[in-house]
Structure 1
Amino acid sequence: MVRTKAQISKEDQSPKLTRSGKNAVNKKKNTSSSKSKTYDEDVQKTVADSKPQFFDHWLMKSEPDSRFEKGVDMKFSIDDLVKEANSTACWDGVRNYEARNLLRDQMKKNQKAFFYHSNCKQPGIVGIVKIIKEGYPDYTQFDRTDAHFDASSNLDAPKWYMVDVKFVRKTKRLIGLQELKKLHLDHAKSSPKGVLHNLSLFTRSRLSVQPLTKEQFEFILKLEDQDKENN
């Protein structure tokens, strides 16, 4: 299986797959103090260690536009995924504990995920992928030359995990961020609340790998057949 890169989005810390031969991940510039960083990590761990709610559908973010990090283009659009051998790639570079737990513990073979273009002029859902390999150690954490090398991780007790995904199809149209945001707000105000009232894209926006309920996935998928102006 050909494996490609994933990196964290400049906008939302999203993992992105790239076309180069070696896995690499781009990180946001760290402008906080080491104390703040430690606090953030502790919060992540607390959230990650809380009792999980189990999901079987997902949304995964990736950058479609070129952006260079250490001389490497971090771009990986859905078209780039299609061009990979067997239209398959790994989803590495996730360095958030809650997202890590989803990759490691909940994502199962043949589950579906929306492929979401992030950090671009028209962010939104552009396609569907499926999980073809369940969580396994993300080898970029052990690579000292990789942007996401983690000296605190070791082979006997890896901290970070990834899955492999395969292209299924493109959506019939872009299901954009603003369209989804409007629906989310409408569903949050309605009584009873609509299925998108707690959509992770807005309630857990920092996660690069986001859980969806079956009802949310099916509701969003139906939007591709509707005129966005009517939503």
Structure 2
Amino acid sequence: MAKNYWLMKSEPEEVSVDDAIAAPQSTVAWTGVRNYLARNYMRDLMRVDDGVLFYHSSCAEPGIVGIGRVASTPYPDPTQFEKKSKYFDPKSKKDEPRWQLVDVQVTRKIPNITLAEMRARPELADMVVLQKGNRLSITPVDAKHWKAITGRLPKG
């Protein structure tokens, strides 16, 4: 099966690339996704070892700050059942969970590739995250875009 690639947005105040790297095995559960299309990507299309571009959003300089991989198969997001969580969903039932997540392992922190830098690169022009009106927290990344981004990174 062909490898897929994903861009996954996280607000640094929630989970930053440094938080992910500091976590056990540099792996974090991708909790709190409450968009059905993003959930479906995790539930139906993501596979262990798919590539991940770790993206900081809702911050001074949004951009790609890490490279990683999908580290688990999908499983129910526990925050949907936690009444004190901002991600609590009273309509979700333990025997029929509405929200799924995957674990993401950050394998490398990189210098921020800002949104402005991405927009300035013609080879990235049709990347989903750069499309007008796109606000999804998880978007597919074409292999050509993955190569264009990771191929320019310094070795190490």
Q: TM over 0.5: same fold? A: yes
Alignment partners' CA distance in 2, 1:123 and 1:86? 25
What do the CA deviations read for 1:170-219 (whole angstroms, capped 9, x no partner)? 22x32111011122xx4xxxxxxx5x332111226211011111111111
Which position in structure 2 is the counterpart of 1:22? none
Structure 1 residues not aligned, in runs of 5+: 1-53, 67-73, 187-193, 226-231
Which position in structure 2 is the counterpart of 1:49? none
TM-score, scaled to structure 2: 0.89
Give the SS at the match of 1:166. strand
Q: Report how many aligned residue pairs link the two structures.
A: 152
Alignment partners' CA distance in 2, 1:207 and 1:131? 18
- Structure (1/2) with the larger strand percentage: 2
- The structure 1 residue matched to 2:142, chosen from 204, 207, 213, is 213
Identity of paired residues, percent?
Answer: 40
Check if 1:153 corresponds to 2:92.
yes
Which position in structure 1 is the counterpart of 2:130? 202
In the TM superposition, what is the alpha-carbon distance from 1:117 to its structure 2 partner? 1.4
Which position in structure 1 is the counterpart of 2:103? 164
What do the CA deviations read for 1:130-158 (whole angstroms, capped 9, x no partner)? 11101111111111121111111112221
What do the CA deviations read for 1:35-78 (whole angstroms, capped 9, x no partner)? xxxxxxxxxxxxxxxxxxx97101111222x4xxxxxxx3x211
Structure 2 residues not aligned, in runs of 5+: none
Give the SS at the match of 2:79. helix
- Kept in 2, the 8 Å contact 1:55–1:213? The answer is no
Which segment is superposed worse, 214-223 or 89-98? 214-223
Check if 1:223 corresponds to 2:129.
no
TM-score, scaled to structure 1: 0.61
Check if 1:122 corresponds to 2:61.
yes
What do the CA deviations read for 1:2-44 (whole angstroms, capped 9, x no partner)? xxxxxxxxxxxxxxxxxxxxxxxxxxxxxxxxxxxxxxxxxxx
Which position in structure 2 is the counterpart of 1:5? none
RMSD between aligned residues? 1.8
Runs of 4+ aligned structure 1 residues displaced above 4 Å come to: none
